[in-house]
Structure 1
Amino acid sequence: MRICIFGAGAIGGYLGAKLALAGAEVALVARGPHLAAIRANGLTLIEEGERRTVAVRAAADPAELGPQDYVIVTLKAHSVPAVVPQLAGLLGESGALVWGVNGLPWWYFHHHGGSLEGTRLQSVDPGGAQWQGLGPERVLGCVVYPAAEVAEPGVVRHIEGNRFSLGEPSGEKSGRVVRLAEALSAAGLKAPVRPRLRDEIWVKLWGNLSFNPISALTHATLDVLCTDPGTRAVARAMMLEAQAIAERLGVKFPIDVDRRIEGGAAVGAHRTSMLQDLEAGRPMEIEALVGSVAELGRLVDVPTPTVDTVLALVRLRAKVAGLT
């Protein structure tokens, strides 16, 4: 089984290191000093105080790696359209595309059923580039829970979590998803196969939709924005609007909105990924995390006044910062 991690930064590097240390045939697509360090010294994982290094094949050009059985994408959502041809080349004729990307996925309405079956979301797939160039039938969904960081080039530090929930868009327990789950489990990771993966996508999106843009606008950490009465109220309103959309699409939430906010507060003084990107001068995942929910609200006729307001503000924040 050949597994390629496309976007081997923090999460991708953690996943690649775990698989490689377990003996899996892994290749990484990375770039810059991180790639150079991996090629020169191997990929190092710091986990629970232990430091382990493993030799792993890595390249900037995916064409060097050849066709793969599984291509696990861990890029930022806005980075994917530009690399569609490279991803398609890695997939070959029968490879599976494992979608470990934050936000509402472009393939959401593939095997969804109902009147919106096959709907393409312009906010996350402008012009249908991913739908046409990759094909939703190639996709396995993946909800990523671990937290990790690149401590220095070639070195990834695991912070917490080891679950990668998997699922077919159709909900079936296919051979290809079972085989991948077994490979991840053999590497010491939790890889449950979910018949209703969209439910988990929404629970994670619930927090990303609200906490990320609010943090980018206020520069507040999670513990602050989840407990300040004003920002908590804004986040709660956004989440309730999203819940109304999701439930109209058949999603079932296992927890209520207040418990989800409390969970965010419990993380502590964490800077969200959107805030980290803003401070580093990198493009933010605005459309995948927020714009997609506003688009869905229009599709199912659910008003999203708070989401729309925050979306307008964070889009302008990005423009003023020169990130669009």
Structure 2
Amino acid sequence: MRWVIVGAGAVGGVVGGRLAVAGHEVVLVARGAHLEAIRRDGLALHSPEGQRTLRLPVVAAVTEHEWRPGDVAVLAVKGMDTPDVLRPLAAVAPAETPVLCLQNGVANERAALRLFPNVYGVHVVLPATHLAPGVVVAHSAPTPGGLDLGRYPGGVDDTAETLAAGLRAAGFSAEALPDIMRWKYAKLLMNLGNALQALCGPDADGVDAIDALLRAEATEVLRAAGIDVASSQEDAQRRTGLLNLQPVEGTPRGGGSSWQSLARGTGTVEADYLNGEIVLLGRLHGVPTPANELARQLVNRAARDHIRPGALTPEAFLALLP
């Protein structure tokens, strides 16, 4: 089995690096300065256990990789980039290629299933950072995170068991689950606060109350849509003892994926597939979602205008809320 990590950023880079250290064959797909740094200097994998540099094959696009039976396409790009990856991937990869959605949100698996019959969702619990080209950081040790997975839309097969075993060999906590989307919707509820964290900063007073408002809207939406979600008690039990966050030399723990997007000035964030998913479902089922829509609009504007994270106060957010 060869793991092709499509998007070697924070999560993809850490997973690809750990798999390579465990002896798996890994190919990275990266872009821009990150691609050039990996080509020139290797992938720097930092963690509380130390730093190591990995010389791994890296390409600029899925079309540059010579796909073969036995390859696994691990999608680790953000949701807004998924369509641009899937179209060329379908043109070059064997039809039976397993597609592993190592991504936030719940829309990626459905998009992949249009083009590939073997799609697997992943419930990602992995605190990781990518701020500098060529460098990815895992903040938990000895277990870097949890990567439960399952076949989409449901079930477990031999491939799911093999993928989970490979991830466990790389040090992750990983189980094959028949109801993976219940867990991904639970993670979606948590990720609704990513936009607020990026806008206001991870430690701003008043963010928790707004985050609760975002989740309350989402809970009503998911109930109206008849979507089954893993409970907060189930999620808390799964996370018990999973993470052990520790300092990493030279890399303080900042914020999550959207915070990092603003910090790196990428120009985009994935809010349309997090808060925007709740907005979409709300429109489909007649449930108002003003807080999630405002968060989606504001963080998209901040990304587009290259505004640094933490520029908005929670009070200013509430003042803009209809």
TM-score (norm 2): 0.78
In structure 1, the partner of 2:33 is 33
The corresponding residue for 2:201 is 220
Instruction: Give the equivalent residue in structure 1 for 2:212.
Output: 236
3-state secondary structure, aligned to 2:139: strand
The one of 219, 223, 228 aligned to 1:251: 228
Equivalent position of 1:112 in the other structure: none
RMSD of the alignment, in Å?
A: 3.0
Show the counterpart of 1:206.
189
Show CA shifts across 1:281-300 (max 9, x none): 32111211111111112223
| SS of 2:137 mapped into structure 1 | strand
1:32–1:298 distance in 2 versus 1, CA, 3 Å = closer
Match of 2:274 among 286, 289, 296: 289
Distance 1:276 1:49, change over 3 A: same
**Distance in structure 1 (CA, Å) of the matches to 2:38 and 2:104:** 25
2:311 equivalent in structure 1: none
Q: Deviations over 1:161-208 (max 9, x none)?
A: 321110112321111111111111122221111222122212221122
The answer to whether the 8 Å contact 1:238/1:307 transfers is yes
1:302 maps to amino acid:
V
Q: What does 1:48-59 align with in structure 2 at a 5 Å threshold?
A: 48-59=48-59
**Kept in 2: contact 1:34–1:153 (CA 8 A):** yes
1:305 aligns with 290
Cα distance in 1 for residues equivalent to 2:129 and 2:303: 23
Q: Is the 8 A contact 2:131 2:263 kept in 1?
A: no
Asked if 1:178 is matched to 2:161, the reply is: yes
CA drift of 1:320 comes to 5.2
Contact residue 29 and residue 59 of structure 2 kept, 8 A? yes
CA shift digits 1:123-177 (9 cap, x unpaired): xx6xxxx564x34x33110122112234644332211232111011232111111
Deviations 1:193-247 (A, max 9, x none): 12221222122211221x2222344x222x335xx2xx43322122012112223
**Residue 257 of structure 2 corresponds to residue 280 of structure 1:** no
Give the partner amino acid of 1:138.
N
Is the 1:8–1:29 contact (alpha carbons within 8 Å) kept by the matching residues of 2? yes
Q: Distance in 1 between matches of 2:161 and 2:229?
A: 24
Aligned to 2:120: 140
8 Å Cα contact 2:198-2:255 kept in structure 1: no
- Measure the CA separation in 2 of the matches of 1:92 and 1:284: 31
Partner of 1:64: 64
- Shift of residue 255 of structure 1? 1.6
Change (3 A) 1:90 1:53: farther
Give, in whole Å, the separation in 2 of the partners of 1:67 and 1:169: 22
Distance 2:253 2:39 in 1: 34
Q: Would the alpha carbon gap of residues 54 and 232 (structure 1) be closer, same or farther in structure 2, given more than 3 Å must change? A: closer
State the AA in 1 paired with 2:196: I
Matched, 1:190 2:192: no
Matched, 1:167 2:150: yes
Unaligned runs of 5+ in 1: 109-124
Is residue 5–residue 28 contact of structure 2 (8 Å, CA) maintained in 1? yes
| Correspondent of 1:271 among 255, 261, 264 | 255
Q: Distance in 2 between matches of 1:6 and 1:251?
A: 29
How far does residue 16 in structure 1 lie from its aligned partner after superposition? 0.9
Distance 1:89 1:320, change over 3 A: same
Change (3 A) 1:320 1:176: same
Partner SS, residue 44 of structure 2: strand
Q: Choose from 117, 122, 136 the match for 1:156.
A: 136
Distance in 1 between the 2:129 and 2:156 partners? 32
Matches of 2:72 and 2:181 in 1, distance apart? 21
Inter-partner Cα distance in structure 2 for 1:234 and 1:23: 44
Distance 1:146 1:245 in 2: 26
Q: How many residues align?
A: 288
8 Å contact 1:4–1:26 — kept in the other structure?
Answer: yes
| 8 A contact 2:262–2:302 mirrored in 1 | no
